[in-house]
Amino acid sequence: MISFPNCKINLGLQILNKREDGYHNLATVFYPVQWRDVVEVIRRDDGRQTTDHSGTSNLELTTKNSELVFTSSGLEIAGPAESNLCIKAYHLLKKDFPSLPPVQMHLHKTIPMGAGLGGGSADGAFTLKLLNDKFQLGLTQEQLIDYALQLGSDCPFFIVNKPCYATGRGEILEEVALDLSAYQFVLVNPGIHINTGWAFEQLQLQGSGRSERPDPKNIVQQPIHTWKEQLINDFEEPVCKAHPQIAAIKQQLYDTGALYASITGSGSTVFGVFEKGKQVRIDFSKEYLVKNV
């Protein structure tokens, strides 16, 4: 069985304060965007031949007792294999469903990492849904959200995978009526990995007026041409200061006719919202990943 995890963008991102548990309270609107990875799961104990991904894998892991054989291709995945959220999703369910059979899992990465797009979170959440469907575990959406939260703060959104107003640390979700199908997105990733911990350290959370700012949920209900001055990502100023090329990408998008442009998450991807059908021609560096959706 195959699934296609999509990414997300943040429409506004306000970091309100730091909590006692070390997380931060935030307010944002998550919007799903169809830049996709691919996850395939094949049962390994039914006598069938497993899919041959030889020659394409950049990461391979066989867990103890051969419960899970995991391979990946596409963009290189940094870090130890055991930290991959697809692997964690399998073992999270295996703990509560011991009858979950051994599987071969393959992840093909096209969504860049450390880019504010939530690609890893999407992979983990979609793996939960894929395993639930394939092996008929009977988990409800609410139960899947509970499992997803154990993987990461962004993961519950990808269980819902509809435009949502997110608060708390990102796990408190409220669906919002927001349809941007009349527009097109241009996403530009300059290949810079932004460390989320570093990004949070750059924020000044003690300033006055943070709680009095217009709420992203209300701003996105207004015409898009009003978003530029109101819909702010708190990470944008420090990220652009450290990486001027990110600010330059945003300006290029506006110069080419974007109705709204911003970084997503803590960066480094910049997205522009354009009228559908508009020809967007920007001479970006060949090292940049550019996606039109």
To the query of whether residue 37 is one of the catalytic residues in this protein, the response is no
The answer to whether residues 236 and 215 belong to one domain is: yes
Has residue 292 got a pLDDT over 50? Answer: yes
pLDDT class of 152 with cuts at 50, 70, 90: very high
To the query of whether residue 18 is one of the catalytic residues in this protein, the response is no
pLDDT in tens, 71-111: 999 999 887 878 899 999 999 999 999 999 999 999 999 99
pLDDT in tens, 156-180: 999 999 999 999 999 999 999 999 9
| Residue 58 DSSP one-character state | S
The answer to whether residues 223 and 111 belong to one domain is: no
* pLDDT at residue 233, rounded to an integer: 97
Write the CATH number for 226: 3.30.70.890
pLDDT in tens, 240-274: 999 999 999 999 999 999 999 999 999 899 999 99
| Cα–Cα distance measured from residue 113 to residue 58, given in angstroms and rounded to the nearest whole number | 15
Which one from 88, 123, 129, 154 is the annotated catalytic residue?
154
If you average pLDDT over residues 123-136, what whole number do you get?
98
Q: Positive or negative CA dihedral for 271, 277, 283, 288? A: positive
pLDDT class of 47 with cuts at 50, 70, 90: very low
The answer to whether residues 42 and 160 belong to one domain is: yes
- Residue where a domain terminates, one of 140, 173, 206: 173
Q: How many domains does the chain have?
A: 2
Instruction: Answer with the residue of higher pLDDT: 117 or 278.
Output: 117
Cβ neighbors of 106 (< 8 A, separation 6 or more) are 38, 39, 40, 51, 53, 57, 70, 71, 72, 73
- Residue where a domain terminates, one of 173, 190, 207: 173
If you average pLDDT over residues 203-223, what whole number do you get?
80
Has residue 49 got a pLDDT over 50? Answer: no
